[in-house]
Amino acid sequence: MAHPARKLSLKFFRRNQPSTDIAEKTPQQANLLTSTVAITVLFSSAGLIFVFAWISWLFIFNPEKIVWLNKFLPEWAQIPFGYSEHPHTLQEIQASLREQKQTFGATLALDKNKNSFLMPVFQQRANCQSNCQELVALRVYQLAQDAEFKSQSEKHYRLATQLSITGIEKSFVESTTESDDTNTLLPLTTVKGFEDETPAPGVWFNLQGEYKQGTSAIAYGQILYYNPERSNLIQLLSWKNSYGQLPKWQQVTGNDAKELILDQTVGLEPQLRVYQVKPTKLYLNPIQLDKISLKPPAIKDTAYQNAISIARSGLWTPALESLKSLQKQRKTPLPTSAQTQIDLIRLHAQFTQAQAEKTWASPSEQILADLIDGRWEKALKVFKASPQNVQEISILLKAEKGKLWNRVVAALEVNPQQPEILAWGALILAVQQGDESANSWLEKQPKITKATIADIQDLLKRLNHESAKS
């Protein structure tokens, strides 16, 4: 018979020992909890994927249905089309702008039926004395097609999109950087459509302003495109011109669509920027303006690359003549990329040829026009024509900033034996650095003849003689 104390101890031990049933249930409950969490996460992820897919589908095919997202998006991410605001009459829209101390400009139709239009919005500039109306926004309105508004006598319009306008940086417009306030924004004051035919589909606009610098007025602006399929306004590029020349659409290449030309010519030096309309893969911005460039040469052909090199130095006409010769020699046509570069060169050559063929009152202007077009021999005849010409041309060459010298170097790489090119190289060096530098340079030319050196030294003597008299 067991001792009572021992029975009590065994009961106490069994009472405090973990239950076998409880120990076996704990892992099962843990597995159940893990499974529940996993299933919940799985269904939540699937739900989120479905929601995102649904929003994406609506964004592409029916963006008006998700305009409510704008309440939660920052300004830069706002959906720029399909606003669901209540339609208003034109008078109501204008009255609303007046309440905000803003004014409206003349509307520009965006389709043939005038069911949609662009409205410029202006605001008074602070501390302004004249021409104080600044463009601050562009709005696109579309005719409301709802049955309740169609039945009314007055047309109602719904805001489709709007774009804030901030102006052009002064540092971009100014030809010098001496001013301390180059970060100032210059206002845009007018909105105009292009009178010439533009690439379709869509509507192109030119926002303009004018900045007075000394006695000259610099025109500047931005090119905008309205995409009717997305009801979206796109700012594509900024421009400026010291002579008031506005951007224009013109057929430059062999493509059916016209190219945009920005004329940034300075004096007799042509600077024509040509842009082609190219598609993109972006939904809201389906197009872009691509600048035609001569870098790099389109094909790996020595003759072609030499022609591109002299074109980049500014010798447009000699480059074009070289490329025409190359095209005649080739058995197969040049690729489109090469033809596009040739078309750009041709556009510049037409400009320099027209300048060189003009009759200039000043010998220095005639010389400059001839040298820019690569007419070395003709320019040398003008130099030799009279002593007065020598003095004036000496002043021209002394002020030369390197563009004529670059032409000399590029031309000699292609034709190192041409005496007229060598003569102009020596004259430029003699005026800017002295006869010693000119003679030293001549002696280093690999294929120069003694007769050519003697002729050029006679020119240098004439230059020195007339310079001493002055």
> Domain segments of the chain: what residues?
90-171+182-208+221-240, 302-469
What is the predicted pLDDT for the residue at 113?
Answer: 87
Crossing angle between the packed helical segments 450-469 and 419-433, to the nearest 10 degrees? 40
What is the predicted pLDDT for the residue at 196?
Answer: 80
Cβ atoms of 398 and 430 within 8 Å: the answer is no
What is the predicted pLDDT for the residue at 388?
Answer: 84
Q: Contacts from 412-415 at CB under 8 Å and sequence distance 24+?
A: 412/445, 413/306, 413/309, 413/310, 414/306, 414/309, 414/310, 414/318, 414/322
Q: Contacts from 277-285 at CB under 8 Å and sequence distance 24+?
A: 277/199, 283/60, 283/230, 284/80, 284/227, 284/230, 284/232, 284/234, 285/227, 285/232, 285/234
**DSSP string of 1-61?**
---HHHHHHHHHHHHHSPPHHHHHHHHHHHHHHHHHHHHHHHHHHHHHHHHHHHHHHHHHH
Query: What element of type H or E holds 304?
Result: helix 302-312
What is the tens place of the pLDDT at every residue in 424-456? 999 999 999 999 999 999 999 998 999 999 999
- What does each C-alpha distance from 115 to 112, 249, 432 come to in angstroms? 8, 26, 65
> Which two three-digit tokens encode residue 310?
């002299």
pTM of the shown model = 0.80
What is the predicted pLDDT for the residue at 22?
Answer: 41
What is the predicted pLDDT for the residue at 218?
Answer: 92
Percentage of residues of the chain with pLDDT beyond 70: 79
Crossing angle between the packed helical segments 403-414 and 316-329, to the nearest 10 degrees? 30
Averages of pLDDT over runs of 10 residues in the chain (470 residues) are: 47 47 51 66 67 62 53 54 71 95 94 93 87 93 85 90 94 71 83 88 94 88 94 94 91 90 92 95 89 97 96 98 96 94 98 96 95 97 90 92 95 94 97 95 94 96 76
